[in-house]
């Protein structure tokens, strides 16, 4: 089997419901799951189990799933794409020491694990910052606050794109 990105369309609820129930009805988090094949049962490693949970949950919600094999070491462009930033922005992060990297000749290489950890740290920092500035508000204010937050994110993204265009 060749490793290529491939998108899978959702299965029917009827097909997915028993699979979802099997994955969620585990007696405890340490329950063992196995794949039954012609040679018998093979235990599923935890990451494979977690992938199956996400796939089934997404398909139950009517979403298609794309599986993309990634190398454990990424180029700066691949890492930038994964983080949703420009390559110059990622290089700035690397130069500032926000994420470890290796130099291979004149190129920077970033470990996938480091990129994923950075992305998680960044999400946590954003949530913490939002919690610090959040003020109590009524349900009626929720739409206003969400609209303001969306506008602020768009403004920041536009500023970053403008800075990246000047730096290129």
Considering the domain 71-134, what is its CATH architecture?
Orthogonal Bundle (1.10)
pTM of the model: 0.53
So what's the pLDDT on residue 93? 93
Is the CB of residue 2 less than 8 Å from the CB of residue 39? no
Classify residue 106 as exposed, middle or buried by CB count within 10 Å of its CB (0-12, 13-18, 19+): exposed
How far is it, in rounded angstroms, from Cα 61 to Cα 162? Answer: 37
Closest alpha carbon to 91 in 73, 104, 105, 109: 109
Helix (H) or strand (E) holding 110: strand 107-111
So what's the pLDDT on residue 167? 65
- pLDDT by residue for the chain (168 residues), tens digit each? 778 888 989 888 888 888 888 887 776 655 678 888 898 888 888 888 888 888 998 998 999 998 888 789 999 999 999 999 999 999 999 999 999 999 989 999 999 999 999 999 999 998 888 877 776 666 667 777 778 888 888 888 888 888 777 765
């Amino acid at each position: 089997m060749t490793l290529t990105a491939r998108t899978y369309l959702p299965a029917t609820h009827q097909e997915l419901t028993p699979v979802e129930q099997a994955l969620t009805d585990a007696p405890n988090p340490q329950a063992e799951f196995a794949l039954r094949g012609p040679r018998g049962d093979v235990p599923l490693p935890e990451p494979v189990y977690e992938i199956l949970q996400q796939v089934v949950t997404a398909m139950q919600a009517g979403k298609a799933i794309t599986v993309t094999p990634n190398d454990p070491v990424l180029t700066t462009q691949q890492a930038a794409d994964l983080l949703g930033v420009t390559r110059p922005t990622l290089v700035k992060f690397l130069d500032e020491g926000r994420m470890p990297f290796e130099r291979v000749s004149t190129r920077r290489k970033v470990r996938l694990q480091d990129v994923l950890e950075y992305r998680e740290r960044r999400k946590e920092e954003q949530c913490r910052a939002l919690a610090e500035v959040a003020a109590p508000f009524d349900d009626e204010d929720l739409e206003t606050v969400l609209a303001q937050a969306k506008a602020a994110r768009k403004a920041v993204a536009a500023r970053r794109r403008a800075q990246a265009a000047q730096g290129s």
